[in-house]
């Protein structure tokens, strides 16, 4: 059974005045380098889903996402590498020319099926899924963002791989919360996990707790969700965030995307300055990839 290639990734330590003044150490796990196209947490979220699809003898993967979706991009690349067909159900009407994300997905062989936003909201309804099967035939379905119990299992495996490192805090961005759930469960009580929500609203903590509970993981571990660093909401980018991305690239040679990892590093810096992390601590930041998304936002 063919599986995705995984490239071992480095840990990069950042040096900055605000870190020295706070007396903390900040290291970044560069998971953006684990695969050229299926990068970061997407590799881990797809790992067991792709294995399950093969075991069920499916030759087609169907999934969902927006026009700039990292998940669509990664799934198209993964399916092509493994010799599978792929179908992307894309939120919103088709806009030509296609943006870089969807152009890449189509070049990798993904069939793009655009549907109106109103219909897209029904993507989990049984009747809607039955219609898709009548239209496309048999397929293995992966949810929007790639989050399901198999994805959480993959992120748990990623979290276990981190245990060889020395750290007191783990910080990561959170959208659907699937990666966070896997990391929280794997890290256990070794360190506190801070999840930086990239969406507006306070629902993510309950969602993560539900995922942990459903997969029989302990919900009473040291973790919390930070909800004030979304810069206006999902895929919203402020001028300050754009400047911060450029600063990190020039000062630390650290590329960030505006949807997830830039908001993560921004939040970590603000929390360090506020004194959230105890002196002498090591903060592990997870770079979850998604750099392709920068093409749609940054000049």
pLDDT in tens, the chain (299 residues): 788 999 999 999 999 999 999 999 999 999 999 999 999 999 999 999 999 999 999 999 999 999 989 999 999 999 999 999 999 999 999 999 999 999 999 999 999 999 999 999 999 999 999 999 999 999 999 999 999 999 999 999 999 999 999 999 999 999 999 999 999 999 999 999 999 999 999 999 999 999 999 999 999 999 999 999 999 888 788 999 999 999 999 999 999 999 999 999 999 999 999 999 999 999 999 999 999 977 755 55
Q: ω before 35 within 30° of 0 (cis)?
A: no
Half-sphere exposure of 110 (CA within 13 A, CB side): 29
CATH 3.40.1280.10 fits domain 11-37+152-296:
no
What is the model's pLDDT at position 299? Answer: 53
What is the model's pLDDT at position 213? Answer: 97
Cα distance between residue 179 and residue 65, in whole Å: 17
What pTM, to 2 d.p., does this model score? 0.95
* Domain boundaries 41-146, CATH class: alpha beta
- CATH 3.40.50.1100 in the chain, residues? 11-37+152-296, 41-146
Enter the tokens of residue 33.
């380098």
Residue 76 · residue 108 · CB < 8 Å: yes
Q: Give the long-range contacts of residues 234-243, CB within 8 A, separation 24 or more.
A: 234/175, 234/198, 234/199, 234/200, 234/259, 235/66, 235/68, 235/259, 235/297, 237/297, 241/266, 242/297, 242/298
Best CA proximity match to 156, nearest among 75, 74, 44: 44
- The position carrying tokens 């459903």 is 214
The full 3-state SS of the chain, as one line of letters, equals CCCCCCCCCCEEEECCHHHHHHCCEEEEEEHHHCCCCCCCHHHHHHHHHHHHHHHCCCCEEEEEECCCCHHHHHHHHHHHHHCCEEEEEEECCCCCCCCHHHHHHHHCCCEEEEECHHHHCCCCCHHHHHHHHHHHCCCEECCHHHCCHHHHHHHHHHHHHHHHCCCCEEEEEECCCHHHHHHHHHHCCCCEEEEEECCCCCCHHHHHHHHHHHCCCCCCCCEEEECCCCCCCCCCCCHHHHHHHHHHHHHHCCCCCCCCHHHHHHHHHHHHHHCCCCCCCEEEEEECCCHHHHHHCCC
What is the model's pLDDT at position 294? Answer: 77
What is the model's pLDDT at position 298? Answer: 55
What is the model's pLDDT at position 297? Answer: 57
What is the model's pLDDT at position 242? Answer: 94
Output phi, psi for 154, to 5 deg.
Answer: -65, -40
């Amino acid at each position: 059974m063919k599986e995705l290639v995984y490239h071992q990734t480095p840990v990069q330590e950042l040096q900055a005045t605000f870190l020295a003044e706070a007396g903390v150490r900040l290291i970044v796990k560069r998971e953006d380098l684990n695969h050229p196209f299926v990068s970061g947490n997407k590799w881990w979220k797809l790992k067991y889903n792709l294995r399950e699809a093969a075991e069920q003898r499916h030759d087609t993967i169907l999934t969902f996402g927006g026009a700039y979706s990292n998940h669509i991009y990664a799934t198209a690349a993964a399916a092509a590498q493994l010799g599978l067909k792929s179908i992307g159900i894309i939120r919103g009407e088709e806009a030509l020319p296609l943006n870089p994300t969807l152009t890449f997905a189509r070049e990798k062989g993904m069939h793009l099926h655009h549907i109106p936003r109103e219909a897209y909201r029904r993507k989990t309804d049984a009747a809607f899924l039955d219609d898709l099967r009548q239209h496309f035939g048999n397929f293995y379905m992966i949810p929007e963002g790639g989050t399901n119990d198999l994805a959480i299992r993959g992120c748990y495996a990623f979290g276990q791989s981190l245990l060889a490192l020395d750290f007191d805090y783990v910080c990561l961005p959170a959208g659907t919360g699937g990666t966070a759930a896997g990391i929280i469960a794997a890290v256990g009580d070794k360190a506190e996990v801070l999840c930086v929500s990239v969406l507006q609203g306070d629902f993510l903590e309950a969602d993560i707790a539900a995922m942990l509970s459903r997969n029989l993981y302990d919900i009473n571990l040291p973790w919390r969700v930070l909800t004030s660093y979304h810069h206006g909401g999902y895929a919203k980018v402020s001028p300050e965030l754009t400047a911060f991305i450029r600063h990190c690239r020039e000062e630390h040679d650290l590329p960030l995307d505006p949807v997830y990892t830039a908001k993560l590093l921004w939040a970590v810096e603000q929390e360090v300055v506020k004194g959230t992390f105890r002196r002498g601590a090591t903060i592990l930041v997870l770079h979850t990839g998604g750099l392709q998304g920068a093409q749609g936002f940054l000049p």
